[in-house]
Amino acid sequence: MSLNWAGLLSLPNWLIHLSSSMEWGVAAFMMYRYGRITGREEIRFFGLSMLPHWFGSFFVLAYHISTDSIPLLLDLSETINLFGSISLLWSTLRILKITGKTPATGIMAGLATVMIAGKPQSYMGEDIFDAILQISSVVYITFLIMLIRVRKKDPTVFSGLTVAGFWFVLVFISVTVFFMYLATGVRGYPSLSHDDLLHGSAESLLTISNLMIVLGIHRQTRWYETQQNAISGLELP
């Protein structure tokens, strides 16, 4: 029997997934480049800290190619994303030059907004898988809170659109959880992946989120270059 490379996804759905992954990779490269242009090592480090999430997306793609038949791939993706969220938070705290513990208010806000997306099949076991999801959610939401602090403290680091793009991931997660319920509990599919319409619709929100991040970095880079050109023009005799 030949391998069905498309897995459970239709071609449009695959294009959406590939676009999401590509956009995040482009965003990481653009952020690193912005750090080089501005000469700020901490911004370059932030760009590098985006790479784990990008690597994690490849395991999700492989999981879908396998027709969702290799749970280990999904577990690896979630585990890598946990380290990715920790990396994003660490790099953000580095920008803020915060030492010591993360403020308790950030942790409490993260705990209050953790969302449990059911109990997916897991190679490592449901308890471990759920724990990874919860910890990753807390870390990522704490990162989002710190991101706002960075924006207020130094608007030259991130544009408002980039910050909004990172926050829009929460919309993607919320809709995915809701669509998962609709697909399995209402429409009778084994999983969200089997419901191509709802799956693609949910994933398109992640594409929008990543696109916002990319456009925000591009806008910030153009703004900085314009400022530098203006300064150079004033210095000319």
Domain ranges of the chain: 11-231
SS3 159: coil
pTM: 0.83
Q: What is the mean pLDDT of residues 164-172?
A: 96
pLDDT at 8: 75
8 A C-beta contact, residue 234 and residue 201: no
Tokens of 163: 């910050």
Q: What is the CA radius of gyration of the chain?
A: 19
Nearest to 80 by CA among 57, 103, 101: 57
Tokens of 139: 């870390």
d(CA 5, CA 10): 11
Q: Which CATH class is domain 11-231?
A: mainly alpha
Which position has the token pair 């695959």?
A: 14
234 class by beta-carbon count within 10 Å (0-12 exposed, 13-18 middle, 19+ buried): exposed
pLDDT at 67: 86
pLDDT at 127: 62
Alpha-carbon dihedral angle through residues 47, 48, 52, 53, given to the nearest 10 degrees: 10
Percent of the chain topping pLDDT 70: 81
- Higher-confidence residue: 109 or 35? 35
Tokens of 178: 């809701």
pLDDT digits 0-9 by tens, 6-45 = 567 889 999 999 999 999 999 999 999 999 999 999 999 9
DSSP 193: G
